[in-house]
Structure 1
Amino acid sequence: MKKLFAVALIAAFASNAALAGAECKAQPKDKWQKEADFKKKLTAEGYQIKKFKVSGNCYEIYGKNKDGKKVEIYFDPVSGAPVKTDIED
């Protein structure tokens, strides 16, 4: 019974780690790119944005890239650099 509990506990922590978001450096909001401008930039690069949100200190999008693959991407809101990217295979 203890062994089964330990396995279930490990599985729960592993699944939570897989769902963890990205860590963006905390920066003053007045230095962040404006959301509307950032969305326009991404659209010009070929992204189709289905959902855009602020996640902690990051901008996060759900949508499709220029190849039509589903993406979830976290961006540094100041530099615009991707911090974490998940692309459908």
Structure 2
Amino acid sequence: MKKLLLTALIAAFAAPAVFAAAKCETHPKSEWIKQEDFKKQLEGQGYKIDKFKVSGQCYEIYGKNKDDKKVEIYFDTKTGKPVKSEVQQ
């Protein structure tokens, strides 16, 4: 029972760190790269986008990179620079 409780407590505290979203700078929407333009730019770099969304002040993609590895990447909406990324190993 103690082991189960300890596991639950660890999971409860670890979960927010694992699922924490990226923190992007706030820019006026008029300064954001247009979503369609940005998607085309990423596809030109070899990304295959399964899902593209706005997550807070970031653009977020789920898909595969040019090496065919799964990725989840958050981008700055004005500069297009990656802010946080996770790549399947």
Equivalent pairs: percent with the same residue? Answer: 62
Counterpart of 1:34 in structure 2 is 34
- Size of the aligned set, in residue pairs, is 89
Pairs within 5 Å for 1:67-82: 67-82=67-82
Q: Does 1:58 align with 2:64?
A: no
1:5 Cα deviation from its structure 2 partner: 4.8
1:40 Cα deviation from its structure 2 partner: 0.3
SS of equivalent to 1:61: strand
Give the Cα separation in 2 of the matches to 1:7 and 1:71. Answer: 28
Structure 1 runs (4+) deviating above 6 angstroms are 1-4
1:27 Cα deviation from its structure 2 partner: 0.9
5+ residue gaps, structure 1, are none
1:11 Cα deviation from its structure 2 partner: 2.4
Counterpart of 2:47 in structure 1 is 47
Counterpart of 2:88 in structure 1 is 88
1:4 Cα deviation from its structure 2 partner: 6.5
Q: What whole-Å deviation, never above 9, does each CA across 1:2-27 have from its counterpart, x for those lacking one?
A: 89756633421212210111000111
Q: What whole-Å deviation, never above 9, does each CA across 1:25-78 have from its counterpart, x for those lacking one?
A: 111000000000000000000000000000000000000000000000000010
RMSD of aligned C-alpha atoms? Answer: 1.7
Give the Cα separation in 2 of the matches to 1:73 and 1:83. Answer: 8
Counterpart of 2:14 in structure 1 is 14
Q: TM-score, normalised by structure 2?
A: 0.90
Give the Cα separation in 2 of the matches to 1:9 and 1:23. Answer: 26
Residue identity matched to 2:20:
A
Give the Cα separation in 2 of the matches to 1:28 and 1:2. Answer: 51
